[in-house]
Structure 1
């Protein structure tokens, strides 16, 4: 007799939580059917119903990570430069939840680099993020807060800065505390606006 749909959805939620816990505690390197089964208190045979291969498990884990990242509370967008600042702050590991998500993202890079399809998917995700930053840069340019011109280089540099800072904060949280991360971000943005001011006011 087939399981009721409600039971199936409840089991999927339980599996999702187990996958998430394994990623949070062991990273992607420790993401195996055996580890998820142990977290779930089930057999690996039950999990093959959901993930017939390791790649299926990894793909599902990446989708789950993206869903959780998207669902994470965001700062109000605002307008102009403040909107760019808020978007970059949302990238940084400034809270325990954001730190956990960043740890999992970084640990997943190895899987993406070793798989052409996953690598292309990651490139698409980061390109989409740059497009969103580009829109905020362009808005700040229209308000006269940033130098006029092509917004792409500023968006690309801003994304690269935030991602690099996030990695350093994960590796050395004692040095790169949340407060220090925000200070460095504000210094970075101040340098952008300073170059704009010097260009417009010789």
Structure 2
């Protein structure tokens, strides 16, 4: 059957621009979510560079044409994966917004790492390649800024309640905690055996100590 002349052809390697196919049958959002999970799985196992639309299609049990209906090319697909990963980050922070508890947030952070072996490998790949891929570097920058802002608001609430040190601005503390969690993120896939239950608790204790007001310590000038 001849191709529709009004639609550009899909790149043979599955990485370039691709035309949209006829609408696949079934639940649109459910199928899109399945493709995002398949893409994340391929990225986690083979790395970003070795990920292609063809491999994602194979992982999802569909044709490359189905993938290109939802995502025009690899860059668009990976940008959508980045969005979905940060949606998960938002979910980690969400339960603490009404009753801030930084330890609980960090516990959920580490729990996600331990409970989903693909989560951190995918994020580390996205962060490592964002420098070279503007298509999803913009997504990461925008969503990461939102993530830090939410964390800063939780810390500011903790400062107002006296449970978080107030001699350092909340936004700087948020940067510090995000950097700590990013370090866990990068190392957990490489050294999972190092993150024993006891060590996780010790890491959490240390992180909380860093942001807790010292007993009887002086308040910052002007605080």
TM-score past 0.5 threshold: yes
Residue of structure 2 equivalent to 1:140: 158
Residue 16 of structure 1 deviates from its aligned partner by: 3.6
Asked if 1:42 corresponds to 2:62, the answer is yes
TM-score normalised over the length of structure 1: 0.77
Give the drift of 1:32.
0.8
- In structure 1, list runs of 5 or more residues that go unmatched: none
Look up the match of 2:207.
188
> Structure 1 CA distance, aligned partners of 2:164 and 2:79?
39
Match of 1:55 in 2: 75
Relative to 1, partners in 2 of residues 1:67 and 1:18: Cα closer, same or farther, differing over 3 Å? same
Change (3 A) 1:175 1:7: closer
What number of residue pairs does the alignment pair up? 197
Instruction: Tell me the CA shift for residue 105 of structure 1.
Output: 0.7
Equivalent-residue separation in structure 2 for 1:79 and 1:8 (angstroms): 36
Q: 1:191 to 1:37 in 2, by over 3 A?
A: closer
Cα distance between partner residues in 1 of 2:111 and 2:117: 4
The 5 Å alignment of 1:98-117 reads: 98-117=116-135
What SS class does the counterpart of residue 29 from structure 1 fall into?
coil
Distance 1:57 1:198 in 2: 51
- What is the CA distance between 1:13 and its match in structure 2? 4.6
Query: Once superposed, what is the RMSD of the aligned Cα atoms?
Result: 3.1
With normalisation by structure 2, the TM-score equals 0.71
Partner of residue 165, structure 1:
184
Structure whose residues are more often helix by fraction: 1
